[in-house]
Structure 1
Amino acid sequence: MSVYDLMRQRCGLSQTEAAEFQGVRLDTVKSWCSGRRPAPARAVDELRDLYRRILEAGASYAAQLERRGPHVGEDGSARYLVGEPRDDQDAIAQGWPNKAACLAALGVAIAALPVDAAPELVPHDKNTGIPRAGKAKVQSR
């Protein structure tokens, strides 16, 4: 495993998605992941930046969920409604490169909820929202 591959995985990106995100060919990403060729510092920095944005957005979304409080269903159960993006376009509209990166932020948010919280993934709508990606500090090509 390479540092590049570790960061790609932490960002929730497949090799194909990483190639699209970074504007390079799939075989280039494969060689960076395997360590056959070292990834350029800029490529690693882009993933590090994306991962920081995932962590920040996840923490912010968890705080938003806690402020809103759990939704009490008809059966009396209390659940935190976690909005899941419908598709890549839904996530892209919130500043993410794709749905996978947004889902990584949702994972951070769910992990940050109180231990006794019961999260439930629901389709994103105006009532649930999804995490917004912060502004990239390192620009993709």
Structure 2
Amino acid sequence: MATTFSLLSQICGLSHREAAQLLNVRLDTVKSWSTGRNRVPDAVLAELAELAARIEAAAAQTLKQIEETAAEHGPPDEVELGIASDDAEAGYIGWPCVGAQATCLGLVLARGIQRGYRFRVAPRGSTVATAAAADSRETDKSRR
């Protein structure tokens, strides 16, 4: 049975473990919310809705950057997207877990493919392009 909590968790790309970690609750609590056994606090639903909106906004911003770059330099043969290798790395780049980042990248892929772009997903920092993007983000963080 689908519940509000389970649907919001899924749209955010969260496993039960990731949801428990994000929401700072026990895994059993997440499972009971997912099945509808226990009532989910409104604040928890609001937090998941906020994460869903953040994922959507990040995907839209990423596509905007791809399109701006394509307009300035011509369409790329392939766009490389770097994905975190674990939740710690995802947290370092601003995501609560790999699942949330992967959901964002999935939206970028789906919408970008519809616009004619080709993609390659690689572990973050594993190629020259993803390493440069990671370095750029780290430099931006140190300036703040």
- The answer to whether the superposition gives a TM-score over 0.5 is yes
- The answer as to 2:132 corresponding to 1:127 is yes
1:42-100 CA distances to partner (integer Å, 9 max, x unpaired)? Answer: 111110000000000011112222333454xxxxxx21111222222221112111111
Deviates more, 1:34-43 or 1:116-125: 116-125
SS of corresponding position for 1:113: helix
Aligned to 1:111: 110
Structure 1 residues 14 and 95: alpha-carbon distance in aligned structure 2, compared to 1, 3 A threshold: same
What is the alpha-carbon root mean square deviation over aligned residues? 1.8
SS of corresponding position for 1:127: helix
User: Unaligned stretches of 5+ in structure 2?
Assistant: 125-129, 138-144
What is the percent sequence identity of the aligned residues? 35
How far is the alpha carbon of 1:128 from its aligned partner? 4.1
- The answer as to 2:71 corresponding to 1:87 is no
SS of corresponding position for 1:38: coil
Aligned to 1:38: 39
Aligned to 1:139: none
TM score, norm. by length of structure 1: 0.79
Between Structure 1 and Structure 2, the one with more helix by share is: 2
Distance in 2 of aligned mates of 1:89 and 1:16: 14
Aligned to 1:97: 96
User: CA contact under 8 A between 1:81 and 1:128: conserved in structure 2?
Assistant: no
Distance in 2 of aligned mates of 1:123 and 1:24: 29
Aligned to 1:48: 49
SS of corresponding position for 1:47: helix
How many residues are matched?
A: 124
TM score, norm. by length of structure 2: 0.78
User: CA contact under 8 A between 1:82 and 1:128: conserved in structure 2?
Assistant: no
The equivalences for 1:49-64 within 5 A come to 49-64=50-65
User: CA contact under 8 A between 1:62 and 1:110: conserved in structure 2?
Assistant: no
Distance in 2 of aligned mates of 1:25 and 1:16: 9
Distance in 1 of aligned mates of 2:24 and 2:66: 34
Larger relative CO (CA 8 A, sep 6+): 1 or 2?
A: 1
